[in-house]
Amino acid sequence: MPDTLTVTELRARLYRVIDEVLATGVPQRIQRRGRAVVIGPEQDGPRLDLARLPRRTAIACTPDELVEQGFEGTWNGDL
């Protein structure tokens, strides 16, 4: 499918365009009178699966230890 459709092209194959947008998650751009509109799925493509992200070890403590960490003696107010 072309990157941008005219309204006439959209009218000729409206249901196919909508089915493809829903199947692929890729929005379709429509050009009319020099301006563009986009037909897209309600959610932009597949959702991010957080369980598949690699686990990072940037903090070397448990979340509870991080919450209990105090900074009372280290702040001096100077930046």
pLDDT digits (tens, 9 = 90+) for 60-78: 888 888 788 777 767 676 6
- Nearest-angstrom CA–CA distance, 25 and 46: 7
Structural domain containing residue 24 = 1-42
Total number of domains constituting the chain: 1
Per the CB < 8 A criterion, the answer to whether 19 and 51 are in contact is no
User: Mean pLDDT in the chain?
Assistant: 83
- Strands (E) in the chain, as ranges, are 4-6, 28-32, 35-39
> Could you tell me the pTM of the whole model?
0.50
Looking at residue 16, its pLDDT comes to: 95
Residue 66 lies in a domain: no
> For position 25, which CATH number holds?
3.40.1620.10
